[in-house]
Amino acid sequence: MSTSYELIYFQIHGRAEPIRLLLTLAGQPFTDTVLTREQWKSAKATMPLFQLPVLVEKDARGERRIPQSQAILRHLARTFRFDGADEEQRVRADVVAETCVDIAAGIGALLHGAGKGNAELADKYWNETWKTNLAKLGNLLASAPAGADGLFVAATPTYADVNAFQLLHTHLAMRPACLDGAPELRRFHDRMAALPQWQSYLGTRRKSEATVPG
């Protein structure tokens, strides 16, 4: 049964970018619907939880609208087999993915909130928070099974690797030297960036909104 996919979000990377990356990795065409803030005012009431992103799936049985970025990501991971080969891998993927979600939540203030343009908060983030988060990610990468070959879960990417890649990409956009003390994470990022399925997309995707001075 043929299924079409439409991802609805704003014209930023944000919470939708790992979803775009996973669909691209799966070789699945999708419609990337971008709403302006003005369009969102009228569209909001039609969304399941009155928020974005939303994935719209259509097939012969009808239409389904899925909210919540991580629910969308896990659903697509199961659909396209990027969730791990067994329960041990699936649990590990979930742990890595949730760690990335926790870390990503901490950069919101730097990008959009009270910390935007605040040099003191930025210094605290990079010198304290980011160092702690680098250690968490580094420990998870170091504890990966021997056959994972530099990825977090297994020798082939999972949705958790997609989450981790986009998280690191966002930080590199803010501070290009942020991985200088974490060579294994840098190698992970560069390996993911070199995936052949992503080359066209990464070369043409919209610029990251992560523009906080480093």
Residues 71-108: tens digit of each pLDDT? 999 999 999 999 999 999 999 999 999 999 999 988 87
CATH topology for the 4-79 domain: Glutaredoxin (3.40.30)
Q: Note the pLDDT tens digit of each residue in 19-75.
A: 999 999 999 999 999 999 999 999 999 999 999 999 999 999 999 999 999 999 999
Question: Tell me, what amino acid is at 144?
Answer: A
pLDDT of res. 179? 97
Sorted by sequence, the CB contacts under 8 Å of residue 201 that are 6+ apart come out as: 20, 21, 24
The chain-wide mean pLDDT, for the chain, equals 93
Q: Exposed (0-12), middle (13-18) or buried (19+): which is 60, by Cβ within 10 Å?
A: exposed
Query: Helices 69-80 and 159-174, interaxial angle, to 10°?
Result: 130
Decide if 72 contacts 13 (C-beta within 8 A). no
* Domain 83-196 classification at class level: mainly alpha
pLDDT at 116 over 70: no
> How far is the C-alpha of 8 from the C-alpha of 209, rounded, in Å?
17
d(CA 140, CA 121): 27
Write out the DSSP string of the chain: ---EEEEEE-SS-GGGHHHHHHHHHTT---EEEE--HHHHHHHGGGSTTS-S-EEEEEETTEEEEEESHHHHHHHHHHHHT-S-SSHHHHHHHHHHHHHHHHHHHTTHHHHTSTTTT-HHHHHHIIIIIHHHHHHHHHHHHHTS-GGGTTSSSSSS--HHHHHHHHHHHHHHHH-TTTTTT-HHHHHHHHHHHT-GGGHHHHHHSPPPS-----
Query: Which residues of the chain form CATH 3.40.30.10?
Result: 4-79
